[in-house]
Amino acid sequence: MSTREQFQRPHLWYRDAVIYEVHVRAFADSNGDGIGDFPGLTSRLDYLQQLGINTIWLLPFYPSPLLDDGYDISDYYDVHPNYGTLDDFKTFLSAAHERGMFVITELVINHTSDQHPWFQRARRAAPGSAERDFYVWSSTDDRFQDVRIIFQDTETSNWAWDSESESYYWHRFFSHQPDLNWESPLVREAVIGVLDFWLDLGVDALRLDAIPYLHVQEGTNGENLPQTHEELRRLRAHVDASYGDRVLLAEANQWPQDAVAYFGDGDECHMSYHFPLMPRLYLALEHGNRLPIIEIMEQTPEIPAGAQWAIFLRNHDELTLEMVTEEERDLMWDTYAPDHRARLNLGIRRRLAPLVENDRRRLELLMSLLLSLAGTPVLYYGDEIGMGDDISLADRDSVRTPMQWNSGHNAGFSKAAPQSLYLPVVADPPFDYKMVNVEAQEDDPHSLLTWLKQMIRRRSRHLVFGRGSIRFLEPANTHVLVYLREGEGETILVLANLSEQAQSVELDLSAFSGFHLVDVIGTARLPVIDERLCSLSLDPYATLWLSIDANQGDK
Ligand code: BGC
């Protein structure tokens, strides 16, 4: 029996999930070659289980020249030898499933590596032939002028010259990543083959990388085109008909109105990242004011039943500032990346802990928002222990250094000689692996890791966080963000003091008169709600999760 037949996925599992994003190469090296691999990752599943996450999102691990850390795929059907074999992947997947954990892998279908056999074949094929038409060609480099350049620190055009075919080819990202031509029915068919391969192996969800750019059309900016949505409807229909319980997650770095379109009418992706919310969490923190969050959530349309936002603080890319105004971008850069080396394209190539100057209160505040706002939280590996970054490394490698397990050789990541590691371990204080590592935090009741484990467990006990509605309250004191999560038979009131001073708010909770407020996180003693305004105080950067219960219940 295949993994697919054995593994039961509960209805709406992705809405109850807590996702952990990790690159195989960065987690644990089992064979001492300096690069993390699947056996290493499998050996660390207990750690992830104890952390409390239940879904692992793997960055691309396929054969690739690795010029874009694997997003430049040269073979969709195998594992890069650096990371092990396909059998190692299958072992990992079964081990994750045995623990009731789900696995999300990458479906990178906007582009391939220029080393992919499809591209090698295309550049030699006759113009107009089916093989050639796998990619987008032109005799000039002036078509699609309204399309922006995404990697603007590296690329000057979305066209690159190919001397073999004596033609230009189209690429949104690096020039070694030619875009597939979605006008070609053969491309569609080939992609279905790839999708089937991984879903047949038992993968639970696919992250659709760079999905707004599939189609390109003269006279448009080439993003979110109706034809692209049509492709997604086809993919979804195929997934539903053939697999039922699998999930598509859209990577669409777009304004809320456009991002929401990736859910379709419930007939495109199940999940989509809320990109515009992310920088506004940092902006709200900088201003000590809830308005940036409230404004973007007000602009966020309702999503179809069953759909879910994926929310995040950091990921493997630069902290993107594409979905903010120029003024906000400048403020973010000045505040969070005063050192210009930390800036990349339209973003900031730093990790979470350095962004908030390693201030535990601000780390906890951001993480508790991540775990209580509407959506499925995505944690980036290493942030659970407050890992630092290394901006002396090129591009986004600054935030992709080895996981810090202990204070020993190479932070316990690998037995290799330090100079053989795929990237050096962070060794500079205050993020030095000798200080910041799993072992040091695991047994410390006061560590960030211990705190986060408890918070994830609290969240997981309350289905309302993943499934319920969100309603923002607007008390006069705008330093405090307040929202009600309602559904699944419970109501939780969340308060977050975004400022560095103690604050108090007065809330009209008379609709819940006679109910009790039960502190879900701490031990605060709270009044029974009545008709009067309810006054609550919060320490600097503090958060409260208060369950509104008819009876004084258990925590
Ligand atoms: C990924 C990046 C990658 C790009 C091109 C993005 O959306 O997150 O890491 O460089 O796609 O594949």
pLDDT digits (tens, 9 = 90+) for 292-340: 999 999 999 999 999 999 999 999 999 999 999 999 999 999 999 999 9
Residue 550: which pLDDT band, with cuts at 50, 70 and 90?
confident
| 442 phi/psi in degrees, rounded to 5 | -60, -40
Position 1 pLDDT exceeds 90: no
Cβ atoms 57, 19 nearer than 8 A: yes
Position 220 pLDDT exceeds 70: yes
Ligand 1 centroid, distance to 137 Cα (angstroms):
22
**165-184 tens-digit pLDDT:** 999 999 999 999 999 999 99
| 483 phi/psi in degrees, rounded to 5 | -145, 155
Mean residue pLDDT of the chain comes to 96
Specify the DSSP element, H or E, that contains 283. helix 277-287
Q: Crossing angle, helix 277-287 and helix 326-336, to 10 degrees?
A: 60
Cβ atoms 466, 376 nearer than 8 A: yes
Position 245 scores a pLDDT of 93
251 is catalytic: yes
88 is catalytic: no
Q: Pick from 22, 23, 68 the residue to mutate for probing ligand 1's pocket: most ligand atoms within 8 Å of its CB.
A: 68
Position 6 scores a pLDDT of 72
Q: CA-CA distance, 122 to 131, in Å (whole number)?
A: 5
Extract the runs of DSSP E, i.e. beta strands, from 488-542. 490-497, 503-507, 516-519, 534-538
**117-137 tens-digit pLDDT:** 999 999 999 999 999 999 999
Position 157 scores a pLDDT of 98
> What letter does residue 178 receive in the DSSP assignment?
P
Q: DSSP for 463-501, please give it.
A: THHHHSEEEEE--S-TTEEEEEEEETTEEEEEEEE-SSS
User: Residues 503-518: what's their mean pLDDT?
Assistant: 96
In Å, the largest CA–CA distance within the chain is: 78
CA of 173, closest atom in ligand 1: 5
CA of 317, closest atom in ligand 1: 9
Per-residue burial over 198-210, b if 16 or more Cβ lie within 10 Å, else e, is bbebbbbbbbbbb
> What letter does residue 155 receive in the DSSP assignment?
-
| First-last CA distance in the chain | 42
| 160 phi/psi in degrees, rounded to 5 | -130, 145
Pick the catalytic residue from 72, 162, 209, 268. Answer: 209
Q: CA-CA distance, 228 to 68, in Å (whole number)?
A: 24
Write out residues with Cβ below 6 Å of ligand 1. Answer: 68, 71, 108, 173, 209-210, 251, 316-317
Ligand 1 centroid, distance to 216 Cα (angstroms):
18
User: Residues 485-512: what's their mean pLDDT?
Assistant: 97
**437-490 tens-digit pLDDT:** 999 999 999 999 999 999 999 999 999 999 999 999 999 999 999 999 999 999
Peptide bond just before 430 cis, omega within 30 deg: yes
Residue 274: other Cβ atoms inside 10 A: 22
Q: Helix (H, G, I), strand (E, B), or coil: what is residue 112?
A: coil
Cβ atoms 235, 248 nearer than 8 A: yes
